[in-house]
Amino acid sequence: MRFRAAFRVCESRNRAQLLLQPQASRSFSQLPINSQRPSFGIAFDIDGVVLRGRVPIGGSPQALRRLYGDSGALKVPFLFLTNGGGVPETRRATELSELLGVHILPSQVVQGHSPFKTLLKRFENELIIATGKGEPAVVMSEYGFKKVLSLDEYASYFENIDPVSQYKLWTTKQESGNGSDPKKLVPKYNATSDRVKAAFVVSDPVDWGRDIQVLCDILRSGGLPGHKNTQQPPLYFAADDLEYQAAFPFERLGMGAFRIALESVFNRIHCNALEYVSFGKPNPFVFKNAEAILRQLQSSCNDNAIDNGDVGSNPFKTIYMIGDNPLVDIKGARQAGHPWFSILTRTGVFRGKDNHAEFPADLVVDTVEEAVDYILTEESTS
């Protein structure tokens, strides 16, 4: 039996008290195998918990392996709940599988922009603009939006829209939302005369200056740069993280910082204040959606489980959110309430000795491996 020091909640599932005391944990093979479907699930944040950039951290590969049986079948329903993104969920699942050494299904990947799918009905056949790192237009196109242009491509139709573009020595590869040959696959329309009906910030913007300029052009002209129209088209952000943990040792400015920059400029040059909607954690919708996905995953867990055909028959007693950002991951799990239980790691944005003052987690640990240790021990004895 191993002993590991962790801040452990004294009264189980009780937010009231955190005490530092040694917590016994056993290796997974020693834990009793439940013949029923597990009544708990886990949501893993990615940046600052499982990865830093593309490097696994906190013992994440070992920790995740413990959630699979010897046959490689998923034993504990879990998913990744990240505010990051920029590539379709299918691609992210493949990348994560390679980096972490376990087989991740696309349904186990919920990114900041995943909820954009819910807007399909409204904008399916309308011209929309998508911006951010990676392939934002491909992401939106895979969700079913038919007339998507990346902001890169959209800007290219307007000569001199970016007055400093000639000083930018990098080149941008223009991606199309509809495949590799934009001429063949993008529906015929004229970007300079067709109104943009909505703008989506899919992932962290790369060229902030150009994006702020072009978004202001779109948003203060009713969707047609250069025209007079004060009706602002809807603007959606995949997340609102002020900072996040990337490969650099200190936090980096995130999409929330970009939103503040855009909003500050827009509100100075336009008569009406910027209107926008932000998705991603800590939005309660994200946690509800994660719970629904975990329930579906739960039904495929544990080969020995008795299948009575009713996916909802075994409601979760606990869903663990393991995150590094108190303002995003912990706040979201706390707001979501039962059955969510928050675990804060010290591998990312949060590095405090004790708990976070404003958004205290139910449990604080050093790494994701410790978090999984705690969960498996707790669940094998409860």
Of 7, 18, 23, 48, the one binding Mg ion (CB under 5 A) is 48
Of 217, 241, 251, 373, the one binding ligand G3P (CB under 6 A) is 241
List the single partner that 241 binds among Mg ion, ligand G3P, none, CB under 5 to 8 Å by kind: ligand G3P
Q: Structure tokens of 194? A: 């067709």
The least CB distance from residue 190 to ligand G3P, in Å, is 33
Give the bridge partners for 148, in sequence order: 128
Task: Tell me: does residue 204 bind ligand G3P (CB under 6 A).
Answer: yes
Return phi, psi of residue 12, to 5°: -55, 140
For residues 123 and 350, which CB has a smaller minimum distance to ligand G3P in the complex? 350
Task: Tell me: does residue 47 bind ligand G3P (CB under 6 A).
Answer: yes
Task: Tell me: does residue 254 bind ligand G3P (CB under 6 A).
Answer: yes
For residues 38 and 115, which CB has a smaller minimum distance to ligand G3P in the complex? 115
List of residues 6+ apart from 18 with CB closer than 8 A:
7, 8, 9, 10, 354, 355, 360, 363, 364
- Interacting residues with ligand G3P between 63 and 122 (CB under 6 A): 82-84
Residue 260 backbone class (left: φ over 0; alpha: ψ -120 to 50; beta: rest) = alpha
Q: Determine the size of the site formed for ligand G3P (CB under 6 A).
A: 14
Q: Determine the size of the site formed for Mg ion (CB under 5 A).
A: 5
The least CB distance from residue 335 to ligand G3P, in Å, is 16
Of 9, 18, 23, 48, the one binding ligand G3P (CB under 6 A) is 48
Q: Structure tokens of 373? A: 């240790």
For Mg ion, the nearest residue by Cβ is 48
Q: Which stretch binds ligand G3P (CB under 6 A): 15-23, 98-106, 236-244, 300-308?
A: 236-244
Task: Tell me: does residue 175 bind ligand G3P (CB under 6 A).
Answer: no
Q: Which stretch binds ligand G3P (CB under 6 A): 87-95, 176-184, 237-245, 297-305?
A: 237-245
Q: Which residues bind ligand G3P (CB under 6 A)?
A: 45-48, 82-84, 204, 239, 241, 244, 254-255, 325
